[in-house]
Amino acid sequence: MFKFITGKSQNKTGFTLIEILVVMVMIAMLAALVGPRLFPKLGKGKQSAAKAQIELLGQGLDQFRLDVGRYPTTQESLNVLVANTNIEKWDGPYLKKGLPNDPWGHPYHYQCPGTHGEYDLLSYGRDGAQGGEGEDKDIGNWE
C-alpha cells in the first residue's frame, strides 16, 4: 500500500523535451508539404457547391414561371420562391429549405431580365465583389 523511496533509481517512463520537439518538427514538415496541395481543392469544392445551388434555384425559378407565366422581376427578387407576395397563381414555396446564401455566406444576385438570358443568377465568389480570379471568380447560371 505504501511505497518507500529508497536510494535506488526508479524506472520513469515518458517523453523528453527533445523527443517532443522532434515530433513537432516532423508534423510541421508534413503540414508544409500537404497543406498547399489540399487548400486549393477546398476552394473548388465551394465553387462546385455554388454551381449546384444556382442550378437548384434555377429549377425553382422555372417552376415559378410554369405556375405564374413569367419569371420574378428584379424587384420581387428570389424571395418570391419562398413566400407569396400576393402574386396570382403562385403555388409555392418553390424551395424546400428556404433561400440559401452562397457557400461564402453572401446572398445570390438575381436580375430579370438578364444580360445573359431571361434572367441572371450569380454569386460573386469568395470576395463578394464583381470579377476576380480563382475563388473570387463570379459564378453565374449562364456558364
Q: Which residue range forms the structural domain that includes residue 63?
A: 48-140
Secondary structure (DSSP) of the chain:
------SSPP------HHHHHHHHHHHHHHHHHHHHHHHHHHHHHHHHHHHHHHHHHHHHHHHHHHHHSSPPPTTT-GGGGTS--S-TT------SS--PPPTTSPPPEEESS-SSSS-EEEE-TTTTSSS-SGGGS-EETT-
CATH code of the domain in which 57 resides: 3.30.700.10
Tracing cell 517512463 back to the chain, one arrives at: 13
* pLDDT tens digits for range 80-96: 999 988 899 999 899 98
* Predicted structure pTM score: 0.69
Q: Give the count of domains, the chain.
A: 1
Q: Strand order in 120-123's β-sheet?
A: 109-111, 120-123, 139-140
In a domain, 11, yes or no: no
Task: Compute the distance between CA of residue 51 and CA of residue 46 in angstroms, rounded to an integer.
Answer: 9
* 10: in domain: no
In a domain, 67, yes or no: yes
Answer whether residue 111 is part of any domain.
yes
Q: What is the pLDDT of residue 32?
A: 83
Residue 71 falls within a domain, yes or no? yes
Domain assignment present for residue 16? The answer is no
Kindly report, residue by residue over 119-140, the tens digit of the pLDDT.
999 999 888 888 888 888 899 9
